[in-house]
A and B are shown apart, each in its own frame.
Chain A
């Protein structure tokens, strides 16, 4: 896990940031993290297995988006 984190840091350092505008980046980060929290709550509250599966897919996408913005 630590190695993965280290690689992430190196990747972040080497790659160009996805968004140069700090203000915009922070705004997107905030929006996506808020959505991630909400989606996590939805996973917990949902009782339908099919629905949980769909929400989890969305959660995965949101995490990808967050990572892209954070980079």
Chain B
């Protein structure tokens, strides 16, 4: 409601400003170009990193100081704290990192993004930056035509950087011309009223522009062209820091509990940092002047002093908030409780990770594993087996023979309510995610979709098998009962072997074991067919029993085959090794 009212109003006001003021037009164009540049840069890093960023983030967040440093380093290179947040949320959902580690990365990335202010203040305002922007844009466009993912990524980064520089140049030009006709500095307000007003303006500008980096570039160019006072620029930068969390909180509203926890951690951190910076603004400004002279920044270089202030107050925030990370973690866990591990909903498919190919692939794989675990539950119960009793057991035959108690399960209901919905979610997510992917990653997605389909088919087969199984296990005919018990043993053995291989990192080991399993199943199938012939010949089972058994033998064989195919896709990482098992 609020959005539908304010958004058109904002557009109309913007159109009016653009129409009446040529200088404002140039400045706003600069902001728009800058934002386009940031989008290109973010897209570029998603393609260019090729999973390196994800690997680094997952391995260097085991303690808080390390996580802060990693967050700082990655955000200063990538220049986007939102990209870091997206990856971190996906890892958090996958259980690869702890919440405290993720919070540490968010703290660090806040310091990391302050490098934008350093770049703008050191290069952007001193030299004619547009001169560098054009070659970057030209080479960026050329590289974007490449089919190679890395080159396309590099092209996007160059293009992004070119647009960022061009945007800064436009903003600077706009303020330079504005200076001659109109003096914004007359609106300067001193004292704490000024502090609050300017902090609010900074926050509001960031909420509207949706990028604190763009707001910082705007503040620095306005400061350099003497449109605002140095102290007011400091206040605006505090506001920008606060404003950026509002956009993060809004974005996380539709995310899962991990996304919400991280957004609130980010919000708390920036609010605490902002309040401290407001309370000690003048002391901090003095400290910046002192430190600036110490590191060789001249007293009248306000742009760099602003960048220094921005970095210092974020570091100060980290120093103050970081010791309470564990308490914050506890608080956030109670604030957003994990949804009950209902199999109805996807656990890893968060819309927020769709845009990051490597994170999206990981989410799809984890969700397919989740689907597999659920299918094992339903298959085991349909066989009247409890997973905790037979998984890991050395004598599965004995466990199966001793487990004849009926387990109440409605497979059709389980399938339609839990498996089908999850399968649907995987397919939907995969279709959306593959739009941002190259051929290699699309093939991976295809494989995971294939694995999900095999899981669903295995369940359809167990549904058929279950009907006769429940009937013949109660039969007085010991021969038919034994044959059905053998079917149960074979499927249980397959599941057990796969369960043992799940955590193996050795692809050859997994493949060879799965191939042995395949051979065993095939041999047993022949053996069972021969046994059925003998049973019919000796009149131990009726014709009706025989036909049921033959059909169910096929279902059992299919279930094992499908599960082995799923295991090959899910637990053999190397595609070449995966393919090696075909037609052996």
Check if A58 sits within 8 Å of B516, measured CB to CB: yes
Chain A residue nearest to B514 (CB atoms) is A61
Contact of B509 among A19, A28, A35, A69 (CB under 8 A): A35
Cβ of B584 under 8 Å from chain A: yes
Contact of A68 among B506, B509, B584 (CB under 8 A): B584
Docked CA distance A69–B584 (Å): 11
Check if B513 sits within 8 Å of A58, measured CB to CB: yes
Given A61-B584, A65-B584, CB of A35 within 8 Å of CB of B576: no
Q: Specify which chain B residues have a CB less than 8 angstroms from the CB of A43 in the assembled complex.
A: none
B181 CB to closest chain A CB, in angstroms? 66
Interface residues of A in 10-37 (CB under 8 A from B): 19, 24, 27-28, 31-32, 35
Chain B residue nearest to A27 (CB atoms) is B576
Interface residues of B in 516-556 (CB under 8 A from A): 516, 519-520
Chain A residue nearest to B515 (CB atoms) is A61
B427-439: contact bitstring with A at CB < 8 Å (1 yes, 0 no)?
0000000000000
Check if B508 sits within 8 Å of A69, measured CB to CB: no
Q: How many A residues have CB within 8 A of the partner chain?
A: 17
Cβ of A62 under 8 Å from chain B: yes
Docked CA distance A27–B516 (Å): 22
Chain B residue nearest to A34 (CB atoms) is B508
Contact of B580 among A35, A57, A65 (CB under 8 A): A65
Most interface-central of A24, A54, A62 (chain B CB within 10 A): A62
Cβ of A40 under 8 Å from chain B: no
Q: Specify which chain A residues have a CB less than 8 angstroms from the CB of B513 in the assembled complex.
A: 58
B488-522: contact bitstring with A at CB < 8 Å (1 yes, 0 no)?
00000000000000000011110111011001100
Check if B576 sits within 8 Å of A28, measured CB to CB: yes
Cβ of B316 under 8 Å from chain A: no
Given A57-B516, A61-B516, CB of A32 within 8 Å of CB of B584: no
Check if B512 sits within 8 Å of A35, measured CB to CB: yes
Cβ of A9 under 8 Å from chain B: no
Most interface-central of B506, B516, B520 (chain A CB within 10 A): B516
Chain B residue nearest to A56 (CB atoms) is B516
Check if A57 sits within 8 Å of B577, measured CB to CB: no
Check if B576 sits within 8 Å of A19, measured CB to CB: yes
A32 CB to closest chain B CB, in angstroms? 6
Given A64-B584, A65-B584, CB of A32 within 8 Å of CB of B576: no
B576 CB to closest chain A CB, in angstroms? 6
Check if A69 sits within 8 Å of B580, measured CB to CB: yes
Q: Specify which chain B residues have a CB less than 8 angstroms from the CB of A65 in the assembled complex.
A: 508, 511-512, 515, 580-581, 584
Contact of A28 among B520, B580, B584 (CB under 8 A): B580
Q: Give the secondary structure class of A's interface.
A: helix
Check if B515 sits within 8 Å of A35, measured CB to CB: no
Chain B residue nearest to A31 (CB atoms) is B508
B356 CB to closest chain A CB, in angstroms? 28
Q: Specify which chain A residues have a CB less than 8 angstroms from the CB of B507 in the assembled complex.
A: 31
Docked CA distance A31–B576 (Å): 12
Q: Specify which chain B residues have a CB less than 8 angstroms from the CB of A19 in the assembled complex.
A: 576
Check if B516 sits within 8 Å of A35, measured CB to CB: no
B53 CB to closest chain A CB, in angstroms? 26
B354 CB to closest chain A CB, in angstroms? 31
B205-238: contact bitstring with A at CB < 8 Å (1 yes, 0 no)?
0000000000000000000000000000000000
A37 CB to closest chain B CB, in angstroms? 12
Contact of B512 among A27, A61, A69 (CB under 8 A): A61
Docked CA distance A31–B509 (Å): 10
Given A31-B508, A35-B508, CB of A68 within 8 Å of CB of B580: yes
Docked CA distance A25–B468 (Å): 48
Check if A57 sits within 8 Å of B519, measured CB to CB: yes
Q: Specify which chain B residues have a CB less than 8 angstroms from the CB of A32 in the assembled complex.
A: 508
Contact of A58 among B506, B512, B580, B581 (CB under 8 A): B512
Docked CA distance A62–B511 (Å): 9
A48-69: contact bitstring with B at CB < 8 Å (1 yes, 0 no)?
0000001001100110110011
Chain A residue nearest to B509 (CB atoms) is A35
A24 CB to closest chain B CB, in angstroms? 6
Check if B577 sits within 8 Å of A28, measured CB to CB: yes
Q: Specify which chain B residues have a CB less than 8 angstroms from the CB of A35 in the assembled complex.
A: 506, 508-509, 512
B248 CB to closest chain A CB, in angstroms? 43
Q: Specify which chain A residues have a CB less than 8 angstroms from the CB of B576 in the assembled complex.
A: 19, 24, 27-28
Docked CA distance A36–B511 (Å): 13
Docked CA distance A64–B576 (Å): 16
Q: Specify which chain A residues have a CB less than 8 angstroms from the CB of B512 in the assembled complex.
A: 35, 39, 58, 61-62, 65
Q: Specify which chain B residues have a CB less than 8 angstroms from the CB of A61 in the assembled complex.
A: 512, 515-516, 519, 584
Docked CA distance A28–B576 (Å): 8
Docked CA distance A54–B515 (Å): 12
Docked CA distance A50–B516 (Å): 14
Q: Specify which chain B residues have a CB less than 8 angstroms from the CB of A54 in the assembled complex.
A: 516
Docked CA distance A69–B509 (Å): 16
Chain A residue nearest to B518 (CB atoms) is A61
Q: Specify which chain A residues have a CB less than 8 angstroms from the CB of B508 in the assembled complex.
A: 31-32, 35, 62, 65
List the interface of chain B (C-beta within 8 A of A).
506-509, 511-513, 515-516, 519-520, 576-577, 580-581, 584
Can you give 25 contacting A-B residue pairs, CB < 8 Å?
A: A24-B576, A28-B580, A31-B577, A32-B508, A35-B506, A35-B508, A35-B509, A39-B512, A54-B516, A57-B516, A57-B519, A57-B520, A58-B512, A61-B515, A61-B516, A61-B584, A62-B512, A65-B508, A65-B511, A65-B512, A65-B515, A65-B580, A65-B581, A68-B580, A68-B584
**Interface pairs A-B: 4 shortest CB-CB:** A61-B515, A35-B508, A57-B516, A61-B512
* Beyond known contacts A28-B580, A32-B508, A54-B516: 6 more, CB 8 A cutoff: A31-B507, A57-B516, A61-B515, A62-B508, A62-B512, A64-B584
